[in-house]
Amino acid sequence: MSAPLIIRGGKPLSGEVRVSPAKNAVLPILAASLLTPDPVELVEVPRLRDIEVMLELLAHLGTRYAWEGRRLYLETPEIRRTDAPYELVAKMRASFIVLGALLARTGEGSVSLPGGCAFGPRPVDQHVKALRKIGARVEEEGGRFQAERVRPFRGRVVFDVPTVGGTEQVLLATALGDAEVTLVNAAQEPEIADLARFLTRMGARIEGAGTSRIHVRGARRLSGVEDYRVIPDRIEAGTYLLAAAATRGRVRLVGAHPGHLDALLDKLHEAGHWIGIDGDRIELRATPDPRPFNVEAREYPGFPTDLQPIAGAYLATVPGTSLVSDRVYPERFTHAAELARMGAEIAIKERTLAITGRPLFGAEVRALDIRAGGALVVAALAAQGETRIEGTEHLKRGYEDLEEKLRALGAELGQAEPHLEEAAD
């Protein structure tokens, strides 16, 4: 179990922080490395627990990998196994997309029902429906999905709702081989466009990625890729911007992609904060008297669901009442009760949070998922007194070098003392 994070809040953040590469972009690209026997080289890969879990899964399937600093080298000369076991897939939802890569490379695959953060149901029905539509036989038994390619992948997939994982699944399944498929109502997230860019570098022909309509023509053979750099992590960037706003501080992000953060930047400007953009740099100078705003998280280019809990923590510091809802994951409110322990005035009614801003105070709280953890960090930085955050293993899944970056911005972090029962282990 990870040690708690101790934060002594009430101090404005100030300084500069470099944005890490996007975990949510790296994960599908790692799955895509299964599509070629040639070497793949990724630069500046974040060292996060979710990345480690995906690498464990790839190694099980036949991938050899090695780190050289922050460069990651992968090579899969052959697929040794086509099953993704429960003990690995249950740790992280994104691992389910290896099914598409296995279908493309070997014509078959078996993957357990995925796990991950526990903030509500996230079904894979759109994945299964799409694979069946283009020519795969998919059967489920005992929480395990067994898939087989019974004909060349052809056709048109119309997603009921835009789904990031489902869109990635089809891209991976169709990039290799004699496939020609059109995706309608596809997810438009930057991570989708980055995966398509990587697959195109490998030799696939993909048009329309980043829009709601994508056309894929597979290549009979995909090559390796050298020196590939993934996009910046827009969720990490947003977390630090919201932390600066919550503490009424001033931060400069380096290595960001401002265009991926339009929805958040617009809300922060609406609140009265000064936003400056210069190339890959974003600067926020917080106003001491911010205005409240409402948030409805939705698919990109809307407000990101991954920033919804963190925005809620920021709004808990803003005088006035704000309403927060989430169209992507309507039950994503595991952070609300923990924020209430810190004095936040929060009411949940009909899948909407009503947040009335007030001063927060330190308390002992627990992160139940990655972004709930991000929310508690933001609240703790703004709160008076000391906050002890348990469940930091979730933060390690999504935030690289969190403590070092917070200290660089002037945050005061304490040394966690273990509970007696922990010391006895």
Tell me: do 80 and 157 sit in the same domain: yes
Is the same domain home to 11 and 47? no
Question: What is the domain extent for residue 195?
Answer: 23-229
Catalytic one of 27, 117, 219, 235 = 117
Regarding whether 15 and 48 lie in a shared domain, the answer is no
CATH at residue 59: 3.65.10.10
- For residue 1, the model assigns a pLDDT of 66
Same structural domain for residues 113 and 139?
yes
Q: Which one of 229, 247, 276 terminates a domain? A: 229
Residue 117 appears among annotated catalytic residues: yes
* Residue 414 pLDDT: 87
Same domain as 110, residue 183 = yes
- Are 185 and 315 contained in the same domain? no
pLDDT tens digits in sequence order for the chain, 425 residues long = 689 999 999 999 999 999 999 999 999 999 999 999 999 999 999 999 999 999 999 999 999 999 999 999 999 999 999 999 888 888 887 899 999 999 999 999 999 887 544 444 447 999 999 999 999 999 998 889 999 999 999 999 999 999 999 999 999 999 999 999 999 999 999 999 999 999 999 999 999 999 999 999 999 999 999 999 999 999 999 999 999 999 999 999 999 999 999 999 999 999 999 999 999 999 999 999 999 999 999 999 999 999 999 999 999 999 999 999 999 999 999 999 999 999 999 999 999 999 999 999 999 999 999 999 999 999 999 999 999 999 999 999 999 999 999 999 999 998 665 544 443 33
Domain match, 219 and 249 both: no
> Are 210 and 95 in the same domain?
yes
What's the domain count of the chain? 2
* One domain, residues 260 and 390: yes
Q: Are residues 15 and 56 in the same domain?
A: no
- The pTM assigned to this predicted structure is 0.94
Domain boundary among 202, 229, 256: 229
Q: Do 37 and 100 reside in the same domain of the chain?
A: yes
Q: Are residues 169 and 307 in the same domain?
A: no
**Closest to 5 measured CA to CA, from 331, 422, 272, 403:** 403
On whether the CB atoms of residues 335 and 312 are closer than 8 A, the answer is yes
Among 181, 205, 229, give the residue marking a domain's end. Answer: 229
